Amino acid sequence: MGRRPTVAVLGGTFDRIHVGHLALLDVAFARSDSIGIGLTTARYLADHPKPYARRVRPYPLRRRALDRLLRKRYPGRAYTIVPLDDPFGGSLRPGVDLLVVSDETLSRAGEVNRRRRQRHLPALRIVVVPRVRGEDGRPVAGRRIRQGSIDEQGRRRTPLVVRVTSNDTVLRSIARRALQRAYAPLPVRWAAGASPRELGAHPSRTLALRLASKSKGRADVTLVVVGLADGRAFAAVSTPEGGPTRAGGFVRLQGPGGVQTLARWIHPPKTVRRPVRESPDPARARKPKHG
């Protein structure tokens, strides 16, 4: 008796197909014999609004573009494209084996498997694909392409908007030079940082983290560097996708190598690539242990 073909499913809007979409599709085809793609409809987008929603192309245009890409990039491979009116689509059908998601949408996979169990269906294996990062270190996403800040390859189309806050003029200079080094050769546009009043008379690491978090969404990168009473400095950085992220302990910046040290910490994604992995069922992983 022959082996049953492995079927993978994934979903998305696929508006202006970019390198992140290709990463998901490459993994889905590599791990299965056929894939089902749920393509979000106008109804879905009305119920789940996206940033710059007016710039999302109509369903027929997105479907034609996706079909052309699949036939060209994966000739002879089996696939189906189906309308996606809700967050689950074909993932709740019998005969499906894999659910391919990005690390951004992993949390939804738990709800998929909960609903499958309610229908007495086996849980899906969950394959997690790390988001592809652009040349600015931030994930490539359709919203950023519609915004006009990057193209489909993750290349910047506008200057990087950066905010720097510090309670020390020397540290502020180091921070600015470190950001320029970290993101070279990208053009940078400097936005105003927090006011001296927000820094307070006695800055702390807690304050640095709070200011970085508060600035989320106001710039592409926000860097807060505060000098502490013991002569050390503490740095916190945030982007619209997450943070603030704390350095591995306190950092000494006033001295040889300070700019380079901070630059490496600010922008490591150029050299760090996380592997594709299979994740435990999020629904089961979150269950508390008893006994």
Model confidence at 253: pLDDT above 80: no
Q: What strand order describes the sheet that includes 188-191?
A: 188-191, 160-166, 221-227, 233-239, 242-246
Q: Rounded CA gap, 36 and 82, in Å?
A: 7
- Specify the pLDDT at position 48: 92
Q: Tokens at residue 188, please?
A: 């940078």
3-class DSSP state for residue 21? helix
What global pTM score does this model have?
0.83
Give the lowest-confidence range in 38-52, 76-90, 211-225: 211-225
Closest by alpha carbon to 11, among 83, 72, 94? 83
| Helix residue ranges per DSSP H, the chain | 19-30, 42-47, 59-73, 106-118, 142-147, 169-183, 196-199, 205-214, 258-266, 282-285
Residue with more model confidence, 201 or 84 = 84
Q: Based on DSSP, count helices (H) and strands (E) in the chain, helices before strands.
A: 10, 11
CATH class for the region spanning 7-130+274-285: alpha beta
Model confidence at 255: pLDDT above 90: no
Contact 219, 163 (CB under 8 A): yes
Residue with more model confidence, 238 or 232 = 238
Domain ranges of the chain: 7-130+274-285, 160-266
> Across all residues in the chain, what is the average pLDDT?
86
Asked if domains 7-130+274-285 and 160-266 share a fold, the reply is yes
Tell the CATH topology of 160-266.
Answer: Rossmann fold (3.40.50)
How do residues 37-71 score in pLDDT, each as one tens digit? 999 999 999 999 998 999 999 999 999 999 999 99
Q: Which residue has the tokens 């996708």?
A: 241
Q: Nearest 5°: phi and psi at 70?
A: -65, -45
